[in-house]
């Protein structure tokens, strides 16, 4: 087993070109068209974290400029650090106004986490995007495109990234395991996929954290590493409640909170993920979702987690009684 974990695997195994990008074939096809024509509009990449937005932009730049010229033609800023109007007026404008290097007639300005830009900075950026369009293209990366002002959105070709599918993520993770010589099993990889929920960066970090602590990638070791409750325990708790056994269900709840150190919102989210698998009519599932949302809100407002979650289990017991009747 490899013992050097100084290099983050998210960087070590980051795809270097568009051909290596997996899980977003439709987006890759559109981006390859830009590379072939050696031209592109302003870009807006939006979607959940860890779905490949920044990686896609860097792969596009590599294919467009060539790996030797990328550093001269790409300015990458994290807008959560440099998000004021001064950053737009100084760093961005100085880079955007100069000519590109090599055969491509423009540079690329990448603003990561662009939805963190202040309103004033966004209005300054809008003008900069218009003014230097001959020498620069802007690529904005964000989780929530709705936080960007409409004039910026209308100037960009929008690419919406969805959470990665399990097949693509599983292939990628097993490749990493094989290259690093890790000990793993299928159940361990499935557990990583369950916890990461389509976020590949999170999945890779969980994988590296698990093996860095000297453990093999198995179901129990992954759960221990991330401090995540065993989904089987959550299901068992819900099943006892649905059978009308409130006290056994509450004992499992107390065990989960004490053993895993979960907060009330952690438990409500895991319950939320398990409700669709319950053997209840759809209408009753809707009622439980509605009540769980109320419990989650009360906990976030400072109510006791134990009391609120116990009340939710009591609701489940009552639902089981109405089903039997």
CB 106 within 8 A of CB 136: yes
- Domain boundaries in the chain? 24-160, 166-226, 231-324
Tell me the C-alpha distance between 266 and 257, whole Å: 10
**Fold equal for 24-160 and 231-324:** no
Lowest mean pLDDT among 148-152, 154-158, 317-321: 317-321
CB 181 within 8 A of CB 212: no
**What is the β-pairing status of strands 74-78 and 136-142?**
unpaired
pTM: 0.84
pLDDT tens string 106-154? 999 999 988 888 888 888 888 888 888 888 999 999 999 999 999 999 9
Question: Which pLDDT score is estimated for 2?
Answer: 46
CATH dotted code for 24-160: 3.40.50.300
pLDDT tens string 179-207? 988 899 999 999 999 999 999 999 999 99
Percentage of the residues of the chain whose pLDDT score is greater than 90: 50
CATH dotted code for 231-324: 1.20.272.10
CATH dotted code for 166-226: 1.10.8.60
pLDDT band of 79, cuts 50, 70, 90: low
């Amino acid at each position: 087993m490899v013992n050097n974990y100084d290099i983050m695997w998210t960087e070590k195994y980051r795809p270097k070109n568009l051909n290596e990008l997996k899980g977003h074939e439709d987006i890759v096809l559109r981006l390859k068209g830009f590379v072939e024509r050696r031209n592109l509009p302003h870009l807006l990449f939006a979607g959940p974290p860890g779905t490949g937005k920044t990686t896609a932009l860097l792969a596009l730049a590599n294919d467009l400029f060539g790996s030797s010229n990328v550093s001269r033609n790409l300015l990458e800023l994290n807008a959560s650090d440099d998000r004021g109007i001064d950053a737009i007026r100084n760093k961005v404008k100085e880079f955007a106004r100069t000519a590109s290097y090599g055969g491509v007639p423009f540079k690329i300005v990448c603003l990561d986490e662009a939805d963190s830009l202040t309103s004033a900075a966004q209005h300054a950026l809008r003008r900069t995007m218009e003014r230097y369009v001959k020498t620069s293209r802007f690529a904005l990366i964000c989780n929530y495109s709705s936080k960007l002002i409409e004039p910026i959105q209308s100037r960009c070709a929008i690419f919406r990234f969805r959470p990665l599918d399990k097949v693509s993520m599983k292939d990628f993770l097993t490749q990493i395991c094989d290259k690093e010589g890790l000990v793993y099993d299928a159940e361990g990889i499935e557990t990583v996929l369950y916890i990461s929920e389509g976020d590949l960066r999170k999945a890779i970090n969980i994988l590296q954290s698990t093996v860095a602590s000297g453990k093999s990638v198995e179901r129990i070791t992954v759960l221990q590493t991330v401090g995540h409750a065993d989904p089987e325990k959550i299901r068992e708790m819900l099943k006892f409640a649905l059978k009308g056994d409130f006290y056994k269900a509450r004992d499992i709840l107390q065990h989960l909170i004490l053993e895993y150190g979960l907060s009330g919102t952690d438990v409500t989210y895991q319950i939320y993920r398990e409700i669709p698998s319950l053997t209840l009519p759809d209408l009753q599932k809707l009622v439980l979702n509605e009540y769980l949302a109320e419990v989650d809100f009360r906990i976030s407002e400072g109510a006791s987690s134990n009391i609120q979650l116990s009340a939710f289990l009591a609701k489940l017991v009552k639902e089981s009684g109405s089903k039997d009747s």
